[in-house]
Structure 1
């Protein structure tokens, strides 16, 4: 039985996507796959059992029915944190090891999904990813998502910490403008240092997209028109604070972009509606005039009204589009194809000893 720990250099790097993609690929090859997320941070109750929200979703995708209390033996709740800071955490690695032993029975491959960052998250209780992976004898696949740069220093520190147990790194969400540097400069550098680069996954607009209804909920806003089109997808956003002529030129270059604009800027609102924006986000808790509302209904473009100012909403949008969870099966299937098309699966199997 082979254990593969999926860790990352930062939160929201794509651990869910990589774990699910590898699991689906292993299953397609006829392998018996098990799954575990030893440390969870988002508790969810199903029946009389409590587990981790991400873990429930990954198991659903992989068609697994496992005891959630075994899958995630360490759940970081408020009570857990208070106990950790007062009386201590106890021997959590033993609990994780016992759960792993039960879940891995009869399995060919065990996927172990990390929480937070590989070297840091969970250190206060001795359950940081590097320690958990070592205790389970698992090889690590490290995911490094591009966010203004790749974290090559972190990757090298991870390699120094676990040595050959680092099976390799996967670069994720790399924009076209950075691809040459990632593959032509950073990858050869890391490989000279003994780090295997398993693949580079390019940025894909669909993977960061969010439905209008989900977006409204995350912004604490209200959809006031075209409510029946809440399934429309937002891939990015534009701020409509400039003059209409300048905004129109900018808007034409960005498809599927929500437009964040003051509720009193009907000129920009109309341009966005006629330009087929997936939705308008009106700030300052200001409602649009009747002409805008009517065009919104006719063009079936939802309008979300929020309380905050434009700058605050834009900062929230940036965070939402970066950290939005993978929950849509269309995105899961698309993401799995993206992973398998850009990751050297044969090399990965060799590196994990499968």
Structure 2
């Protein structure tokens, strides 16, 4: 039996969808697959026990049945007030016991990481590096493109820490305009430094898309008109703070972009709606005038009113879109398809065979 820890250089990198795709592929190859997520951050109660919401979803998709509290023995909520920083229970021992139970009679054990492999869980002694070493796991890294780069420094640092126990890395959410640099420059550099790259998953805006109704809730706002179209999909956003002429030019070049604009900018609000934006977000707790509200009803464009200023809302929008959880079946299938097309499973299996000899 071999154990694989799926970790990442940072949170929200796509570990869950990679683990799901890998688990299903191994099942197709006839392997008996076990799964656990030792540390979770999304508490969910099932009957009389608590588990992690992500882990429960993945287990169901893999067709497995383990009690949620064994599946995820340690829960560290993101809410600091709900986190017991000084908990003296032996979290590592609980994880080791659960791993031993779940891994019985399995060919491969997939262990899902939480947050960053280097830091998350350190205060309880259960960060990803510690777990990998304690449980004797081989590590597959997922690194997501963000802030205009892939985190090759973190990858090399983790490789230096884990040595031969690091299997390699899978790049995720890489935009088309960066894919050539990834293939021509970054991958050869990492391979030269003994880091195997198993593939590059391209960006698909639909995976980070969100419905207008959910966006209103997460922005702590309310839909004040266009409610009949509250299920419209938003893939990204545009900030309407420029001059009208410049805004019109930029807006015509884009699609499926929600427009964030001050509640007093009636001119930009009308241009955005007439241009087909899927959702209008008005800031500053200013209610748009009657003309805007009436036109949103006619065009079917939901208008979300929020209290924060435009800059704050834009920052929150970026965080929301970059931290979307795959819950809808259509998104899960699409994400798994993207991973399947990019992941060199045969190369990984060959490396696992070498490690087990």
Kindly indicate whether residue 121 of structure 2 is the aligned counterpart of residue 122 of structure 1.
Answer: yes
Which residue of 2 is the match for residue 98 of structure 1?
Answer: 97
Which residue of 1 is the match for residue 198 of structure 2?
Answer: 198
C-alpha deviations, 1:194-233, integer Å up to 9, x for none?
1100111111111221111111111001012222322211
SS in 2 for 1:100: helix
Which residue of 1 is the match for residue 247 of structure 2?
Answer: 247
Deviation at 1:89, TM superposition (A): 4.4
Which residue of 2 is the match for residue 306 of structure 1?
Answer: 306
Which residue of 2 is the match for residue 221 of structure 1?
Answer: 221
> 2:41, 2:284 → 1: CA distance?
33
Deviation at 1:80, TM superposition (A): 5.6
Deviating above 4 A after TM superposition, structure 1's stretches of 4 or more consecutive aligned residues are 77-80
Alignment of 1:111-190 (within 5 A): 111-147=110-146, 148-190=148-190
Normalised TM-score (structure 1): 0.94
Normalised TM-score (structure 2): 0.93
- Structure 1: gaps spanning 5 or more residues: none
> 1:27, 1:249 → 2: CA distance?
50
> 1:184, 1:259 → 2: CA distance?
36
Tell me: CA distance 1:23–1:228, structure 2 relative to 1, closer, same or farther (3 Å): farther
Deviation at 1:185, TM superposition (A): 0.9
> 2:153, 2:116 → 1: CA distance?
14
Determine if contact 1:83/1:89 at 8 Å carries over to the other structure. no
Determine if contact 1:279/1:303 at 8 Å carries over to the other structure. yes
Determine if contact 1:4/1:352 at 8 Å carries over to the other structure. no
- Alignment: residue pair count: 350
SS in 2 for 1:120: coil
Alignment of 1:35-50 (within 5 A): 35-50=35-50
- Structure 2: gaps spanning 5 or more residues: none
Which residue of 1 is the match for residue 331 of structure 2?
Answer: 331
Which residue of 2 is the match for residue 13 of structure 1?
Answer: 13
Determine if contact 2:85/2:123 at 8 Å carries over to the other structure. no
- RMSD over aligned Cα atoms: 1.6
> 2:272, 2:57 → 1: CA distance?
36
Tell me: CA distance 1:224–1:79, structure 2 relative to 1, closer, same or farther (3 Å): closer
Determine if contact 1:122/1:128 at 8 Å carries over to the other structure. yes
Alignment of 1:311-326 (within 5 A): 311-326=311-326
Deviation at 1:93, TM superposition (A): 2.3
SS in 1 for 2:86: helix
Which residue of 2 is the match for residue 81 of structure 1?
Answer: 84
SS in 2 for 1:81: coil
Deviation at 1:168, TM superposition (A): 1.0
Determine if contact 2:278/2:302 at 8 Å carries over to the other structure. yes
SS in 1 for 2:84: helix
Deviation at 1:325, TM superposition (A): 1.8
SS in 2 for 1:83: coil
Which residue of 2 is the match for residue 231 of structure 1?
Answer: 231
Deviation at 1:19, TM superposition (A): 1.0
Tell me: CA distance 1:70–1:149, structure 2 relative to 1, closer, same or farther (3 Å): same
> 1:58, 1:228 → 2: CA distance?
33
